């Protein structure tokens, strides 16, 4: 049986948390239920400001020995360690930086336990992306083990895949200390547990959820022409700025857009038409952009899956 093609994610870093108070420590801080993380089973979660704004997001997966691996954006790693250390105080938690020894790899396929490699032990864990299974699987493992099974840098492969699904990447698409967690679709992509109890920023996040006060969201758009650059304005038919592009790829962009502007006629980006998409992960939560029905069909009956015209 062949091994899946693994792409090294050079923009990710691995931390390891251990100690008797690790789960309780994180449970008080982050948006998701840390107790749900185990060997081969990850949670995606975020650490917010007290005002509910985005700071960091990462995956947590059990190491099989009572600790947790943390898969985080490499650019955020040092700040994240400082923030966790600040909150840790005297808790029995050890935070280790494994950047030199471990790496993160990705495959577009859903992980299967009968794949022959890499060897998954206490030093390595594989898991299906908990945000959306279609995003594929990730492997945290020693660099040597990943190299032995042919994992190699494939620049842009993961980003192109997640954009094809219309999925935002918070470390790219959210603005730290500015974007509210629900504006970043954290609730729509299994990143928040509203029943777990308190976490940093919980009060405002819950208020937005239950009072329906989410005014902006990261929305996938089908765009004509060249991929627009980040911060390119999204305009309504009247020329009003409805939001800004955060990232883009082949025919699709993720933009932070005011929801009320989605029903004000056609949108455009850099002079080219831009059409809101309703991929399954967005439509199933009743958050379909205007003109899209909950089943992912546009008003003219065309498929509204990410990457297709709406």
Domain map (residue ranges) of the chain: 7-163, 170-283
- What is the chain's pLDDT, residue by residue, as a tens digit (310 residues)? 566 789 999 999 999 999 999 999 999 999 999 999 999 999 999 999 999 999 999 999 999 999 999 999 999 999 999 999 999 999 999 999 999 999 999 999 877 666 555 565 558 899 999 999 999 999 999 999 888 888 888 989 999 999 999 999 999 999 999 999 999 999 999 999 999 999 999 999 999 999 988 999 999 999 998 899 999 999 999 999 999 999 999 999 999 999 999 988 899 999 999 999 989 888 655 555 543 333 333 333 333 343 333 3
Let me know if the fold of 7-163 is the same as that of 170-283: no
Token pair of 187 as six digits: 């609730």
Q: Give the pLDDT confidence score for residue 292 in this predicted structure.
A: 38
- pTM here? 0.89
| Dihedral angle sign, alpha carbons of residues 287, 179, 42, 34 | negative
CATH of 170-283, one of 2.40.30.160, 2.60.120.1440, 3.90.1300.10, 3.40.50.720: 2.40.30.160
Confidence at residue 159, expressed as pLDDT on a 0 to 100 scale: 96
- Which residues, other chains included, contact 4 with Cβ-Cβ below 8 Å and sequence gap of 6+? 107, 109, 111, 115, 137
pLDDT value of residue 282: 84
CATH of 7-163, one of 3.40.50.300, 3.30.420.40, 3.40.640.10, 3.30.1360.120: 3.30.1360.120
Q: So what's the pLDDT on residue 296?
A: 35
């Amino acid at each position: 049986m062949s091994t899946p093609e693994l792409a090294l994610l050079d923009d990710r870093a691995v931390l390891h948390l251990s100690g008797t108070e690790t789960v309780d420590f994180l449970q008080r801080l982050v948006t998701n239920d840390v107790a749900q993380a185990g060997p081969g089973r990850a949670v995606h979660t975020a650490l917010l400001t007290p005002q509910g704004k985005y700071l960091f997001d990462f995956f947590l997966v059990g190491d099989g020995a009572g600790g947790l691996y943390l898969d985080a954006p490499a650019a955020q790693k040092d700040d994240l360690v400082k923030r966790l250390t600040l909150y840790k105080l005297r808790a029995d938690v050890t935070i280790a930086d494994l950047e030199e020894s471990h790496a993160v790899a990705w495959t577009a396929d859903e992980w299967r336990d009968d794949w022959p490699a890499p060897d998954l032990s206490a030093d390595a864990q594989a898991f299906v992306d908990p945000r959306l299974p279609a995003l594929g699987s990730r492997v945290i493992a020693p660099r040597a083990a990943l190299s032995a099974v042919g994992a190699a840098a494939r620049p842009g492969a993961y980003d192109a895949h997640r954009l094809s699904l219309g999925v935002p990447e918070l470390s790219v698409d959210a603005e730290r200390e500015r974007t509210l967690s629900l504006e970043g679709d954290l609730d729509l992509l299994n990143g928040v547990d509203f029943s777990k109890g308190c976490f940093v920023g919980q009060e405002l996040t819950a208020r937005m959820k239950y009072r329906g006060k989410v005014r902006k969201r990261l929305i996938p758009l089908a765009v004509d022409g060249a991929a627009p650059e980040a911060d390119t304005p999204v305009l309504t038919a009247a020329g009003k700025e409805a939001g800004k592009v955060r990232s883009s790829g082949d025919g699709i962009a993720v933009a932070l857009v005011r929801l009320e502007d989605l029903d004000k006629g056609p949108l455009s980006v850099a002079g080219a038409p831009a059409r809101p998409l309703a991929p399954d992960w967005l439509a199933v939560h009743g958050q379909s952009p205007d003109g899209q029905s909950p089943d992912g069909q546009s008003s003219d009956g065309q498929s509204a899956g990410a990457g297709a015209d709406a």
